[in-house]
């Protein structure tokens, strides 16, 4: 089965930025054609954008804009011999940083990507790896333009460095390749995005095509919404006397304390049982005194982590149900 089984094909172009050897430009175009079975048009080279300096590098976003402005095709792949970097937000540092460890720039579902050659070349032999690196990066960016997310054991897998780039496959995995050819998932105009598993799941949920047993919280939410009119008709309960309210509050505090204690101990016991089983599987005997103390110490630490995670998840679920039920969800205005 061919790619684009619906008959329509996107317009695709390759745009060199600056003076590049013809063999490299045609190699990128050939990779695009091998990937989507559509021969791209090779445009005349454009000049690198002015005022695109970013520290000691060139601003990848400026190159992406320049390539996009030079073409009106559905998807455009630019290629440059300039060393690119880009501004990205570092959530840990809570600030924008200059990321110069990139092989180009593209975005999932976008229309323009730029391949940068300098970081694909290193001083270590064998240099015959370089053409394969260019093909992988080009194919990865083409996949992103057609809407592919990261995918393991696939050319769509993210590559943070040259070692990861060299290790990953040069082609799509079976599932990603199938989605380009399957009439149910193949890209169509006008966006030319492949229907990925994540997109299918999202659209299925939006269309209400799901079973309530798959999403029990949805079922609970529907029950609460259905009961809301009944709740509104119920008479308001009289306020409790102050001593009674104090007693209820104190009882809640005591109950909450012991529930948390029991949950923590349960987490520790669960982790200890798991570690004990792992030890017995690998060693084949009862743990020694030293190993037992080690299991206990690890269980306390890992049990506390598990307890905090479960506590956060459970608390978030309850808060979400409360906000959704009381109509307080949504952005602040």
Residue 4 lies in a domain: no
Same domain for 301 and 176, yes or no, is no
Measure the CA–CA gap between 281 and 212, rounded to whole angstroms: 39
- Token pair of 331 as six digits: 């952005």
**End-to-end CA, the chain:** 51
Q: What is the CATH number of the domain that holds 125?
A: 3.40.390.10
Residue 108 lies in a domain: yes
Measure the CA–CA gap between 258 and 97, rounded to whole angstroms: 46
Instruction: Determine the angle formed by the axes of helices 216-233 and 289-326, rounding to 10 degrees.
Output: 40
Q: How many CB atoms lie within 10 A of CB 9?
A: 17
- How high is the pLDDT of residue 249? 66
The continuous run of DSSP H or E covering 252 comes out as helix 242-283
Same domain for 266 and 200, yes or no, is no
Give the pLDDT band (50/70/90) at residue 328: very low
- Token pair of 260 as six digits: 């948390």
pTM of the model: 0.60
28 within 8 A of 115, measured Cβ to Cβ? yes
Same domain for 105 and 66, yes or no, is yes
256 within 8 A of 264, measured Cβ to Cβ? no
Measure the CA–CA gap between 186 and 9, rounded to whole angstroms: 11
* Backbone torsions φ then ψ of 247, nearest 5 degrees: -65, -40
- How high is the pLDDT of residue 227? 73
Measure the CA–CA gap between 282 and 229, rounded to whole angstroms: 58
Least confident of 89-103, 129-143, 192-206, 243-257: 192-206
Contact residues for 83 (Cβ-Cβ < 8 A; gap 6+):
57, 58, 100, 116, 118, 119
Measure the CA–CA gap between 65 and 101, rounded to whole angstroms: 20
Same domain for 174 and 227, yes or no, is no
Range ranked top by mean pLDDT from 25-39, 120-134, 310-324: 25-39
Give the pLDDT band (50/70/90) at residue 265: very high
Q: Summarize the chain as % helix, strand, coil (round to 5).
A: 50, 10, 40
Q: Which of the two residues, 325 and 198, has the higher pLDDT score? A: 198
Same domain for 194 and 263, yes or no, is no
Residue 302 lies in a domain: yes
Same domain for 220 and 200, yes or no, is no
Measured over all CA atoms, what is the biggest interatomic distance in the chain, rounded to whole angstroms?
87
Residue 145 lies in a domain: yes
Same domain for 223 and 149, yes or no, is no
Calculate the average pLDDT of the chain: 82
Residue 245 lies in a domain: yes
180 within 8 A of 36, measured Cβ to Cβ? yes
Helices (H), 37-90: 60-69
* Backbone torsions φ then ψ of 263, nearest 5 degrees: -65, -40
- Long-range Cβ contacts of 178-181 (<8 Å, 24+ apart): 180/3, 180/4, 180/36, 180/146, 181/1, 181/2, 181/3, 181/5
- Would you call 58 helix, strand, or coil by DSSP? strand
Residue 133 lies in a domain: yes
Same domain for 40 and 172, yes or no, is yes
Give the pLDDT band (50/70/90) at residue 331: very low
Same domain for 173 and 307, yes or no, is no
Measure the CA–CA gap between 142 and 135, rounded to whole angstroms: 10
Segment 165-187 mean pLDDT: 89
- How high is the pLDDT of residue 318? 62
Same domain for 306 and 177, yes or no, is no
Range of the domain at 251: 216-232+241-326
Residue 287 lies in a domain: yes
Same domain for 182 and 297, yes or no, is no
What is the domain count for the chain?
2
Segment 208-229 mean pLDDT: 63
Give the pLDDT band (50/70/90) at residue 53: confident
Contact residues for 24 (Cβ-Cβ < 8 A; gap 6+):
79, 117, 134
Residue 5 lies in a domain: no
- How high is the pLDDT of residue 211? 57
Shortest CA distance to 33 belongs to which of 13, 18, 15, 17? 13
Q: Which of the two residues, 104 and 205, has the higher pLDDT score? A: 104
Query: What is the DSSP annotation of 81-147?
Result: SS-EEEEEEETTTTEEEEE---SEE--TT-SEEEEE-GGG--SSSPTTHHHHHHHHHHHHHHHHHTT
Same domain for 224 and 278, yes or no, is yes
């Amino acid at each position: 089965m061919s790619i684009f089984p619906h008959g329509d094909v996107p317009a695709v172009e390759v745009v060199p930025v600056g003076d590049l050897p013809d063999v490299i430009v045609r190699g990128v175009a050939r990779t695009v054609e091998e990937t989507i079975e559509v021969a791209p048009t090779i445009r005349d080279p454009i000049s690198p954008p002015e005022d695109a300096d970013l520290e000691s590098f060139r601003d990848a976003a400026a190159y992406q804009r320049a390539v996009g402005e030079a073409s009106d095709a559905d998807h455009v792949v630019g290629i440059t011999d300039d060393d690119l970097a880009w501004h990205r937000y570092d959530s840990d540092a809570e600030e924008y940083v200059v990321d110069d460890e990139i092989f180009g720039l593209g975005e999932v579902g976008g229309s323009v990507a730029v391949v940068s050659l300098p970081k694909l070349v290193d001083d270590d032999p064998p240099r015959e790896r370089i053409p394969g690196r260019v093909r992988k990066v080009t194919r990865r960016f083409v996949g992103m333009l057609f809407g592919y997310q990261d995918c393991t054991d696939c050319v769509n897998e993210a590559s943070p460095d040259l070692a990861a780039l060299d290790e990953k496959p040069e082609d799509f995995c079976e599932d990603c390749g199938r989605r380009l050819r399957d009439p149910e998932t193949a890209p169509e105009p006008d966006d030319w995005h492949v229907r990925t598993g994540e997109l299918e799941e999202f659209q299925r949920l939006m269309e209400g095509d799901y079973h309530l047993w798959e999403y029990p919280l949805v079922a609970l939410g529907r029950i609460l919404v259905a009961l809301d009119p009944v709740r509104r008709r119920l008479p308001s309960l009289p306020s409790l006397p102050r001593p009674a309210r104090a007693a209820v509050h104190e009882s809640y505090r005591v109950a909450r304390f012991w529930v948390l204690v029991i949950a923590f101990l349960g987490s520790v016991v669960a982790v200890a049982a798991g570690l004990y089983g792992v030890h017995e599987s690998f060693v084949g005997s009862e743990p020694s005194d030293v190993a037992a103390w080690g299991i206990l110490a690890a269980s306390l630490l890992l049990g506390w982590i598990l307890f905090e995670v479960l506590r956060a998840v459970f608390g978030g679920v309850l808060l979400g149900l409360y906000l959704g039920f009381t109509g307080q969800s949504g952005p602040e205005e």
